[in-house]
Amino acid sequence: MDINIKTSDVILIAAVDSTEQDKELAHLRCDGKNDQNVIQEAVNSVYIERCGEIRGKRIVLLPGNYYISDFPERNPNGKVAIMVGTKSNRFNHIGILISGAERTESTVINVTKECYDKLDENESYSIFGCAEHNCNHHIFKDLYVTVPDDQKKIVCFDGRYMGAIGIRRCKCLCETRGGYLNPKKTLPNEEFVAFMGTYGSNNMWEEKWEFCQAEGFGQGFAVGNEHLFLEKCTALFGRYGFTFNNYESRRGVIAHPMTMMCCIDEANANLWKFAKNKFKQCISSYNMSFEIFPRWMELEGFYATEERPGDYAGHIDYVANYGCDTPNSTQIPFWAKGSGVNFETVNNTHKKICGSIERREYSANIGQEIFDTDLNKKLIYTGSEWIDFLGNKAD
C-alpha cells in the first residue's frame, strides 16, 4: 500500500513478526533489519517540504518487534536513529504523534546487539531525537524500547531539540539490568538515559509524561526545563531514578515550576540529583514512593543532592521503606546533609503531634514542625537540631 500524504492521516507500519492481517493493513512493512529507515520514511513523508509544517499526522507501529541496526541521522548532540522535526525554527506547535498498539508491551523497538557493539563509547546517540532548532510538539505513546547493555551514551526518548515532548505509557528497558536483590557490580553510564526533557521553554505548550517506566539506566528520567508534569513514572535498577536539569539548557528561563505526582523510585543506587540552576526553580513532588535497597545504595549511595545547595525550592512529600515487604520507615532520610534547604520536605509517616522519644527517632527534614506532647510546645528542626519558637534547644 502506498502512502498518500493527502489522504492518510494515520500511517501504519508493520513489523517483521506482525500478524498477516496487520501486514495487509500497513502502509509500510519492516523486514527486521534497519527498521529505523522504514520508520524514518514515514516520518519524512508527513512534512510539507515547502515550509516544514506538519498536518497533525499520526504514525502507528503495529504490534511486533522493530530492530534498530544503525543511527544514520545526526543533530548537534550526536547520532540519531529516528529523527523527528525539520530545521525550521518555527513555533507552529504541530508535531508528529508516534504510537504503538494500545496493548501492554506489544510494540517493541530493539537496539540490536550487533548495532550496540559497534557504537563508539565516546559518541552520543538518541533513539528518538529531533532536528536542530525544531520547535514542534512531538508525542510518543505505547512504545517499549530495549537496549542490550548500559555502558554507552544513549538517550531513548531525547526531547532536547523538541519544542515540547509528551510521553504516555512508554517503557525503556536495559536487558542487562539487575534485580531488587542482585544489583550489577558496575553501574550504568550516567549518560545512558531513558527519558530526557527539552532544551528550554515549551512556549506554554503541553509537556506531560504519564505512566512511563525506566529500568536499568544511568538516569531514568532526566527531568528538565519548564512546566513539565510527570504522573506515575517509575524508575528502577539504575544509578539515578530522577535527575533535574542535569543537562545543558539553551533557551528559556529555567525558573518555571515542574511537578510530579505519585512517582516511584525503587532499587536505584542514589536518590535524586539536582544540577546547578541560578533561577531558583520550584520542583514539587506529591506522594512519592521510595524503596531503598541497601545492596543498591552500597554501590554509590548518595541521598538527594543539590549540586549547589539552595538553587532549588519546592515541596516534596514521600514514603520510603527498605523493600516491598517492609513497612514504611520514619528513619530513612531523603536529603544528603546540606542539600534541600529551601524545600518543604515531608515524610508522610511522621506524626505532627508526638512525644519526645518518638520525635527523636525520626529522620527529620529541615523546617519540619512537630508539637512535642512531653515538652508541651511546638518545635522546628533547623537541619542539625530541634528548637522551640523562641530559639531554645529542645534536647
pLDDT digits (tens, 9 = 90+) for 18-38: 999 999 999 999 999 999 999
239-269 residue pLDDT tens = 999 999 999 877 666 888 999 999 999 999 9
Share of the chain above pLDDT 70, in %: 91
CA 26 to CA 34: how far, in whole Å?
Answer: 18
pLDDT number for residue 48: 55
| Helix/strand/coil for 264 | strand
Contact 352, 371 (CB under 8 A): yes
Q: Is the pLDDT of residue 202 over 90?
A: no
Q: Calculate the average pLDDT of the chain.
A: 91
Same fold, 10-349 and 352-395: no
28-29 vs 234-236, strand pairing mode: unpaired
Q: Which helix (H) or strand (E) holds 242?
A: strand 240-244
pLDDT number for residue 205: 75
Q: What is the mean pLDDT of residues 272-289?
A: 96
What the block records as the C-alpha cell of 85 is: 522535526
CA 136 to CA 89: how far, in whole Å?
Answer: 9
CA 225 to CA 246: how far, in whole Å?
Answer: 10
Any idea which of 50-54, 126-130, 302-306, 382-386 has the lowest mean pLDDT? Answer: 50-54
Q: Is the pLDDT of residue 224 over 60?
A: yes
Place of cell 514542534: 136
Side-chain-side CA neighbours of residue 24 (13 Å)? 3
pLDDT number for residue 346: 98
332-391 residue pLDDT tens = 999 999 999 999 999 999 999 999 999 999 999 999 999 999 999 999 999 999 999 999
Q: Give the CATH number of domain 352-395.
A: 2.10.10
109-121 residue pLDDT tens = 999 999 999 999 9
Q: Which residues pair with 259 in a beta bridge?
A: 229, 284
CA 233 to CA 265: how far, in whole Å?
Answer: 9
Domain ranges of the chain: 10-349, 352-395
Q: Which amino acid is at 110?
A: N
Report the b/e string of 286-299 with b at 16+ CB within 10 A.
eebbbbbbeebbeb
**Local structure of residue 118 (DSSP, 8 states):** H
Q: Which residues pair with 124 in a beta bridge?
A: 153
Q: Is the pLDDT of residue 51 over 60?
A: no
Which class is 10-349 in CATH? Answer: mainly beta
Q: Is the pLDDT of residue 69 over 90?
A: yes
